[in-house]
Amino acid sequence: MIDVKNISYKIGSKTILENINLSVSKGEFFGILGPNGSGKTTLLKLISGGQAAKEGEVIIDGRNIRMYQTKELAKKLAVLPQLNDAPFSFTVYDAIKLGRYAHQRTLLPAWSKEDEDSVQEAIRLTKIERLKDRFLDELSGGERQLVYLARALVQEAEILLLDEPTNHLDISHQINLLELLKELIEEKNLTVISIFHDLNLASLYCDKVLLLKDGKEVNTDTPRNLFINEKLEEIYDADLQMMEHPAVPKALITFNPSEKKNEQYDDSSIKVEEHSKEWIVLHTDRPYKSLSSAIIGSGFSWSTHFVTRFVDKNYYCDNPTEDMIDTLAGKGIDKNKTIGMMTAACLEDAVFKQFKGNEFQLTVMVTAGVSNAVDISQAFHYYKEEITYPGTINTWIFIEGHLTEAAFMQAAMTATEAKAKALHIEEVRDPRSGTVATGTSTDSIVIAATQTGLHFKYAGTITNIGKSIGMLVYEATVEAIQKNKKRLASLK
């Protein structure tokens, strides 16, 4: 639909754009990204015909843009003004009407039913009925952006060109506008070309993006491929990090702010704040990034409190999470900074182990109850769905170091293997199958790291940190199981 071929543009002796090529298909949401001054606005002006290219050509539907009459071009493409352009003092309705200019057939324009229907339809689509009689210069940025979009829609152009449409909009207006554009692309098969400064919005909405730097094309690709493959840090000269969106398969970009003075911590060690029959509360001044399967703070989180609560082995509650939150609140512990687990294992038998190497420091805590011991290789055959009681092995691993997400995963794998080995050596058996257990039915784990100091790309069994995790978890689990056995024997 749109082909830009070998466009170069100079102002005086300064090259603004150099040999740009791009191709946008019908129904595509195409983004233009790049640092300030990289040539985005100039390129958009060349695509819209607002500026004429001296070298190269812009082809729209097979015809050079220069071959279009003004009205003809207005039916092909509409340009949305930037919000900081001063608005005229028109009513919203009159401002939208102006968009019909290209459809007026006579010199003295007559307002037809078709024109009126088109305006009403655009007002309906952009949901601005309530604004119809207001003046444009009295509207908020978000409201004005919708009016501009309605004006572009009455133009019935197939291509919308937008220069940073979400600039000055709050998050809900950004979402409204971009969702509306997406709907229009789907329903009316519009093509949208838009400049974005916000990499994340481009990632969430664009099918493809062109990345510019100093007037040159770095690459054109899907946002995901571009964010993975291009050195965005170099292009934007910033300390950037890519991560995955939690709900959709899109990449997000964030950056690392420098630590404020009041966020600098002298002490990142794990301290035992309480160790009683009812609770083990571990606390650290510096928040740890944690990957956990715990009842409170599951998934990735940043936590300063690591809490184990003892519950009777017959404990049953419809909503144990709510119960735990209430109980923590009663103790004055903020659930948002806490990883919390429950166990019926005797907390006095918790085992702590520490490893202080030259490169890193590790602390491990294990509590072990094995009344729900399971051999996972047999569980499918022996277990129906049933209520489980909290006789469980909880493993806590604290690392003073910086782990990648892969390293978090591998640390969890390594610890699980070490735990299974401990059960094997201690000959803990699954009561149903009679075979050696691999864990219990409700085991939990947390891997927590300061994310400071040495970087660990991996933490599997081949790495030094993996070996240390394996050793500490194995030894702590064996010891905790032995303590548990002794206690059970003494009760008999």
Ligand X SMILES: Nc1ncnc2c1ncn2[C@@H]1O[C@H](COP(=O)(O)OP(=O)(O)OP(=O)(O)O)[C@@H](O)[C@H]1O
Please give the Cα distance from 131 to 82 (Å, whole number): 20
Is 37 an interacting residue with respect to ligand X (CB under 6 A)? Answer: yes
Which residue in this structure is represented by tokens 């790495």?
463
Is 210 an interacting residue with respect to ligand X (CB under 6 A)? Answer: no
Decide if 147 contacts 96 (C-beta within 8 A): yes
Is 194 an interacting residue with respect to ligand X (CB under 6 A)? Answer: no
Is 40 an interacting residue with respect to ligand X (CB under 6 A)? Answer: yes
Residue 163: helix, strand or coil by DSSP? strand
Which residue in this structure is represented by tokens 């100091």?
453
Is 38 an interacting residue with respect to ligand X (CB under 6 A)? Answer: yes
CB of 11 to ligand X, least distance (A): 4
Is 106 an interacting residue with respect to ligand X (CB under 6 A)? Answer: no
CB of 272 to ligand X, least distance (A): 53
Is 50 an interacting residue with respect to ligand X (CB under 6 A)? Answer: no
Please give the Cα distance from 450 to 39 (Å, whole number): 41
Q: Which helix (H) or strand (E) holds 173?
A: helix 171-188
CB of 196 to ligand X, least distance (A): 10
For residue 130, CA distances in Å to 81, 135, 144, 338, 479 come to 22, 12, 13, 46, 71
In the bound state with ligand X, the residue whose beta carbon lies nearer, of 41 and 176, is 41
Is 431 an interacting residue with respect to ligand X (CB under 6 A)? Answer: no
In the bound state with ligand X, the residue whose beta carbon lies nearer, of 39 and 391, is 39
Is 42 an interacting residue with respect to ligand X (CB under 6 A)? Answer: yes
Is 100 an interacting residue with respect to ligand X (CB under 6 A)? Answer: no
Residue 195: helix, strand or coil by DSSP? strand
Q: Determine how many CB atoms are found less than 10 A away from the CB of residue 338.
A: 22
| Residue of 34, 131, 44, 116 whose CA lies nearest to 81 | 44
Between strands 191-195 and 29-33, the pairing is parallel
In the bound state with ligand X, the residue whose beta carbon lies nearer, of 83 and 136, is 83
Is 34 an interacting residue with respect to ligand X (CB under 6 A)? Answer: yes
CB of 40 to ligand X, least distance (A): 4
Decide if 253 contacts 275 (C-beta within 8 A): no
In the bound state with ligand X, the residue whose beta carbon lies nearer, of 14 and 260, is 14
Among 4, 31, 39, 193, binds ligand X (CB under 6 A): 39
Is 36 an interacting residue with respect to ligand X (CB under 6 A)? Answer: yes
Stretch that binds ligand X, among 35-43, 147-155, 173-181, 310-318 (CB under 6 A): 35-43
**Number of residues counted as binding ligand X (CB under 6 A):** 10
Site residues (CB under 6 A) for ligand X, limited to 352-411: none
First to last CA, the chain: 82
In the bound state with ligand X, the residue whose beta carbon lies nearer, of 36 and 172, is 36
Q: Determine how many CB atoms are found less than 10 A away from the CB of residue 111.
A: 11
DSSP notation for 402-435: EE-HHHHHHHHHHHHHHHHHHHHHTT-B-TTT-S
Is 440 an interacting residue with respect to ligand X (CB under 6 A)? Answer: no
Residues interacting with ligand X, by CB under 6 A? 11, 16, 34, 36-42
